[in-house]
């Protein structure tokens, strides 16, 4: 990386000005007989006097009076229009004789505005009539025809489909469009995040396409017996409530009616949480406080249920006692699912952040005179900062001496007594991010450039008016609130600090009111929201424009779920009152600030690779992502933009032979759940291939059937017996469990041992492999078989069945290649000069040449 701000875009593009426009409702009267008792009610973001002067100038009217000029903003900062005000007045019985003129008094207009501002809005009114966007239609069509094809092959089939669609795709509206196209009369929506219910209810009750549809959930309190059989029904429930069982292990009696209906479509929302797949083990990583915050309702009963389902290999049908015709899975970050290979390409619809931003640019180029449906979706920027050595010295950890955010922001005590363990250093960090730390100021003088720290750069400050700070522990949040309030931190006193991780603050949507109350309209306030994990999924706060990552986050799912919270659109519709299709965008870009550079770049690389686990070349996958998500890194003296190759190099910096060995000994490389074992058992070629792997002949082919049958039998007995199980039966089950778990472990160990031979093959071959598909398709099949014991065709078959995890293996293969390249470069050796294979297609072309 060179010196200075080396960017592919100019600085004006990276730091776009933030609009300060505000929508106002006005009313004026004209003193003549034709307008007696009438008021003109309109809206504008201009100066009201100037706007009205423009209107009356053409008619040479001078005898007018402006009687009202008020902000058109609700308490949560969203806006309402002059049309909304007039509609409210007409609902109250006031006449609208012509266009924007109302027969009412100024007090009547004020009352209507007050009702709208205070939340007295229409509920369940079907007034929206916008059509689906191109990608939403594509998702519906692809899913619809996949279902139709499966049913044509087998009338009793229960097809599954995955929408890998990022936040803001419009999953609820699009799901309802799919249900409508399927002519579904009964739709069951199950989620692990009850906070998303508002979107499911609002979309159904507001769009004209779903007029007459019925909505029931735990919160609505509706009686299922009152459902009209002639109209479509949507039932919304949480995973914890619907899928849990009573003490006897039976489906909850209050939900028995769910088992009596044939559901046309069952939707699993927020599927990346995978509560039924991994018992939420990966969901809330790190501190217990984070787990407690977001998984407060995840009881021991559901934990057991989730573990059983994990063992069954995600066979929901075996555990959910409902009749379903089709399943739809929704997730913005389904990386684990994609890596497992459960869904093949024809079962997946992808809509990623890169797709969204590409569509925004293409629409603007192709339709410059039309409203861009993607324009309000901000483009993200990731800024990483290398901390000074004196701060790194107190909080470094791991093999690569990474800055440990959890250790740096460690705190003790609670409430007003909470304090950082390294309080002096955290104070220095606060000074750094607002540009008042002396050593960094000296460095800036030496280099002639002032780095863009979050709270010091005037181009960034408008986007930090309302920000989210994600900390490692509840004590850290309390300590930060206390430190910001201390009298030496005068700069921070302008910000209202909201600690949603404090005791007494609710979970999910219940934690939102303190934030929205503090933000208000968003223009006249400044806020900092402190959280461990609350409000980082399933909520929308338009005014949040930046997030500070102050906590170790290993999983890209968690990292980007939180990061995308600040990508919510913030707009004013019809700003001048003369074009209902016009939109003023208040937030064209948004920012993620991270202070652990290596970890941040790993997140970017894993996110880019996770979007396409089978990408021919990891560098290209990351390159596409960062073309829309610029990454700028401050190394202590200069801020530079990092390209895809640089991100991968820095993310894998320090990779050692020891670490590479660990990657190839990891259990995540293989799948041994029941679903995968059944695939092997049902495929003669696959079974023969597995038997060729060292150690399997000693186990015998019957080991697969033993594991599957015994695990299913134990689970079934536990479920049927519940609390009635006798001590003798319990001991017998325990012995059975030990047996099949031991055999499952042996299968896993044999497969992992085989996996460790792949890097040995790569070391011996002369070619540079980038992905698993490179390994499979290389031109040395005899060498591959000699080293691993399997033919290339056999290995390819097992990868296709999901026995080996292609996504994780791709990362291990790529890491090996980068390490090997670095080693060869260091020694001055370049194997096969000019020949660099980047994937299956490139390999084939090179071979043919």
CB 281 within 8 A of CB 344: no
| Structure tokens that stand for 474 in this block | 């509840």
Instruction: Please tell me whether residues 519 and 568 are part of one structural domain.
Output: yes
What is the per-residue pLDDT for 332? 81
| Structure tokens that stand for 507 in this block | 């979970």
The C-alpha atoms of residue 477 and residue 481 are separated, in whole angstroms, by 6
What is the per-residue pLDDT for 449? 63
CB 74 within 8 A of CB 115: no
pLDDT surpasses 50 at 47: yes
The C-alpha atoms of residue 338 and residue 703 are separated, in whole angstroms, by 27
Whether the pTM exceeds 0.75: the reply is: no
Q: Which of 97-101, 192-196, 201-205, 713-717 shows the lowest per-residue confidence on average (mean pLDDT)?
A: 192-196
Instruction: State mean pLDDT over 761-768.
Output: 54
| Structure tokens that stand for 811 in this block | 């990362």
Q: What are the b/e assignments for 76-85, b being 16+ CB within 10 Å?
A: bbbbbbbbbb
What is the per-residue pLDDT for 297? 33
Instruction: Please tell me whether residues 487 and 546 are part of one structural domain.
Output: yes
Is residue 102 classed as helix, strand or coil in its secondary structure? strand
**Of 351, 367, 387, at which residue does a domain stop?**
351
The model's confidence at residue 181, banded by pLDDT at 50, 70 and 90, is very high
pLDDT surpasses 50 at 301: no
588 against 664, higher pLDDT: 588
Is residue 337 classed as helix, strand or coil in its secondary structure? helix
The segment with the largest mean pLDDT, out of 289-293, 402-406, 757-761, is 402-406
The C-alpha atoms of residue 844 and residue 298 are separated, in whole angstroms, by 50
Instruction: Please tell me whether residues 583 and 513 are part of one structural domain.
Output: yes
**Of 336, 351, 366, at which residue does a domain stop?**
351
Residue 1 maps to a domain? no
The segment with the largest mean pLDDT, out of 79-83, 96-100, 569-573, 816-820, is 79-83
Q: Are strands 233-238 and 327-331 parallel, antiparallel or unpaired?
A: unpaired
Residue 123 maps to a domain? no
Residue 107 maps to a domain? yes
Domain that holds residue 574: 355-654
Cα of 111 vs its chain's centroid, Å: 40
Q: Are strands 95-98 and 348-351 parallel, antiparallel or unpaired?
A: unpaired
Instruction: Please tell me whether residues 398 and 307 are part of one structural domain.
Output: no
Instruction: Please tell me whether residues 101 and 234 are part of one structural domain.
Output: no
Handedness of CA 270, 271, 272, 274 (dihedral sign): positive
Instruction: Please tell me whether residues 308 and 367 are part of one structural domain.
Output: no
What is the per-residue pLDDT for 27? 92
Nearest to 647 by CA among 598, 593, 594: 598
pLDDT surpasses 50 at 832: no
Instruction: State mean pLDDT over 514-520.
Output: 94
Helix 684-691, helix 792-800: angle, nearest 10 = 120
Instruction: Please tell me whether residues 362 and 445 are part of one structural domain.
Output: yes
CB 88 within 8 A of CB 80: no
pLDDT surpasses 60 at 73: yes
What is the per-residue pLDDT for 775? 57
The percentage of the chain sitting over the pLDDT mark of 90, rounded to a whole number, equals: 29
Residue 267 maps to a domain? yes
The segment with the largest mean pLDDT, out of 166-180, 189-203, 447-461, 599-613, is 166-180
The C-alpha atoms of residue 251 and residue 282 are separated, in whole angstroms, by 27
pLDDT surpasses 60 at 4: no
The model's confidence at residue 98, banded by pLDDT at 50, 70 and 90, is confident
Handedness of CA 543, 549, 555, 556 (dihedral sign): positive
Residue 15 maps to a domain? no
DSSP assigned state of 158? -
Q: Which of 423-432, 456-465, 640-649, 662-671 shows the lowest per-residue confidence on average (mean pLDDT)?
A: 662-671
Residue 237 sits at the vertex; the CA angle it makes with 232 and 243, to the nearest 5 degrees, is 120
764 against 29, higher pLDDT: 29
Residue 14 maps to a domain? no
Query: Tokens 């170790």 map to which residue?
Result: 552
The C-alpha atoms of residue 659 and residue 665 are separated, in whole angstroms, by 10
Query: Tokens 């100024």 map to which residue?
Result: 106
Number of H helices, E strands in the chain: 36, 28
**Of 298, 327, 351, at which residue does a domain stop?**
351
What is the per-residue pLDDT for 829? 41
Instruction: Please tell me whether residues 474 and 332 are part of one structural domain.
Output: no
Number of domains the chain is built from: 4
Residue 284 maps to a domain? yes
Instruction: State mean pLDDT over 793-809.
Output: 77
The C-alpha atoms of residue 28 and residue 199 are separated, in whole angstroms, by 37
543-590 residue pLDDT tens: 999 999 999 887 787 888 889 999 999 998 767 755 545 788 999 999
Instruction: Please tell me whether residues 820 and 674 are part of one structural domain.
Output: yes
pLDDT surpasses 80 at 397: no
Q: How far is CA 253 from CA 244, 258, 518, 719, in A?
A: 11, 10, 42, 15
User: CATH number for the domain including 299?
Assistant: 3.40.50.300
The C-alpha atoms of residue 614 and residue 628 are separated, in whole angstroms, by 21
Q: Which of 280-294, 676-690, 695-709 shows the lowest per-residue confidence on average (mean pLDDT)?
A: 280-294
pLDDT surpasses 80 at 610: no
| Structure tokens that stand for 534 in this block | 């609350």
Instruction: Please tell me whether residues 580 and 670 are part of one structural domain.
Output: no
Instruction: Please tell me whether residues 191 and 335 are part of one structural domain.
Output: yes
What is the per-residue pLDDT for 612? 63
Residue 291 maps to a domain? yes
Instruction: Please tell me whether residues 635 and 672 are part of one structural domain.
Output: no
Residue 530 β-bridge partners: 469, 499
pLDDT surpasses 60 at 210: yes
52 against 401, higher pLDDT: 52
């Amino acid at each position: 990386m060179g010196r200075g701000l080396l960017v592919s875009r100019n600085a004006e593009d990276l730091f776009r000005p933030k609009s300060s426009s505000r929508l106002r409702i006005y009313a004026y009267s004209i003193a003549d007989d034709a307008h007696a008792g009438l008021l003109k009610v309109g809206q504008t973001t201009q100066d009201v006097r100037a706007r009205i002067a423009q209107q009356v100038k053409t008619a040479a009217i001078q005898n007018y009076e402006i009687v009202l000029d008020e902000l058109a903003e609700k308490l949560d900062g969203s806006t309402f229009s002059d049309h909304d005000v007039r509609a409210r007045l007409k609902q109250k019985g006031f006449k609208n004789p012509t266009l924007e003129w109302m027969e009412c008094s100024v007090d009547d207009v004020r009352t209507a505005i007050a009702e709208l501002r205070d939340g007295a809005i229409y509920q369940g009114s079907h007034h929206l009539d916008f059509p689906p966007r191109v990608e939403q239609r594509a998702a519906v069509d692809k899913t619809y025809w996949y279902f139709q094809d499966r049913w044509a092959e087998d009338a009793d089939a229960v097809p599954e489909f995955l929408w890998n669609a990022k936040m803001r795709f419009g999953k609820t509206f699009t799901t309802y469009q799919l249900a409508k196209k399927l002519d579904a009369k009964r739709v069951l929506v199950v989620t692990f995040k009850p906070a998303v219910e508002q979107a499911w209810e609002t979309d159904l009750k507001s769009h004209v396409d779903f007029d007459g549809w019925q909505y029931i959930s735990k919160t609505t309190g509706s009686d299922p017996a009152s459902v009209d059989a002639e109209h479509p029904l949507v039932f919304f429930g949480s995973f914890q409530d619907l899928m849990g069982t009573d003490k006897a292990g039976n489906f909850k009696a209050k939900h028995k009616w769910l088992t009596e209906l044939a559901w046309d479509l069952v939707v699993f929302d927020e599927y990346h949480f995978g509560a039924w797949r991994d018992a939420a083990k990966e969901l809330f990583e790190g501190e217990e406080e984070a787990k407690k915050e977001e998984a407060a309702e995840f009881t021991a009963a559901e934990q057991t249920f989730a573990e059983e389902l994990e063992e069954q290999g995600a066979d929901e049908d075996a555990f959910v006692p409902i009749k379903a015709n089709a399943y739809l899975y929704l997730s913005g970050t389904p990386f684990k699912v994609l890596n497992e290979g459960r869904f093949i390409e024809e079962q997946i619809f992808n809509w990623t952040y890169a797709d969204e931003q590409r569509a925004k640019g293409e629409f603007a180029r192709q339709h410059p005179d039309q409203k861009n449906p993607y324009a309000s979706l901000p483009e993200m920027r990731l800024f990483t900062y290398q901390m000074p050595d004196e701060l790194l010295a107190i909080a470094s950890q791991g093999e690569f001496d990474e800055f440990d955010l959890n250790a740096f922001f460690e705190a003790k005590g609670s409430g007003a007594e909470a304090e950082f363990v390294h309080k002096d250093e955290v104070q220095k960090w606060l000074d750094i991010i607002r540009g008042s730390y002396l050593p960094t100021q000296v460095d800036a003088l030496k280099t002639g450039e002032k780095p863009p720290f979050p709270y010091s750069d005037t181009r960034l400050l408008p986007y930090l008016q309302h920000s989210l700070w994600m900390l490692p522990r509840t004590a850290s949040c309390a300590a930060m609130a206390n430190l910001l309030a201390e009298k030496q931190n005068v700069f921070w006193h302008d910000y209202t600090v909201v600690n949603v991780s404090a005791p007494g603050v609710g979970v999910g949507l219940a934690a939102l009111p303190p934030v929205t109350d503090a933000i208000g309209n968003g223009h006249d306030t400044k806020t900092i929201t402190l959280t461990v994990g609350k409000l980082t999924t399933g909520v929308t706060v338009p005014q949040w424009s930046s997030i500070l990552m102050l906590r170790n986050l290993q999983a890209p799912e968690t990292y980007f779920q939180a990061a995308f919270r600040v990508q919510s659109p913030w707009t004013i519709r019809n700003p001048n009152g003369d074009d209902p299709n016009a939109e003023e965008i208040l937030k064209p870009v948004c920012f993620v600030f991270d202070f652990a550079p290596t970890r941040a770049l790993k997140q970017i690389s894993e996110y880019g690779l996770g979007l396409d686990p089978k990408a021919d070349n990891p560098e290209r996958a990351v390159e596409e992502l960062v073309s829309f998500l610029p990454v700028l890194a401050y190394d202590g003296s200069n801020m530079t933009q990092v390209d895809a190759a640089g991100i991968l190099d820095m993310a894998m910096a320090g990779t050692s032979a020891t670490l590479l060995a660990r990657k190839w000994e990891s259990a995540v490389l293989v799948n041994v759940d029941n679903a995968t074992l059944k695939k092997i058992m049902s495929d003669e070629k696959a079974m023969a291939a597995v038997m060729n792997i060292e150690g399997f002949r000693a186990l015998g082919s019957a080991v697969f059937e033993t594991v599957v049958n015994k695990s299913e039998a134990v689970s079934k007995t536990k479920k049927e017996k519940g609390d009635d199980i006798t001590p003798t039966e319990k001991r017998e089950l325990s012995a059975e469990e030990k047996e099949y778990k031991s055999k499952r472990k042996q299968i896993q160990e044999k497969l992992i041992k085989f996996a460790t031979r792949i890097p040995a093959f790569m070391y011996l071959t002369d070619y540079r492999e980038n992905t698993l598909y490179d390994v499979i398709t290389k031109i040395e099949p005899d060498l591959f078989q000699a080293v691993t014991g399997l033919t290339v065709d056999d290995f390819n078959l097992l990868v296709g069945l999901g026995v080996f995890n292609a996504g994780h293996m791709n990362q291990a293969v790529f890491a090996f290649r980068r390490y090997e390249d670095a080693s060869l470069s260091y020694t001055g050796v370049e194997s096969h000069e000019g020949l660099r294979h980047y994937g299956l297609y490139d390999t084939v072309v090179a071979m043919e040449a």
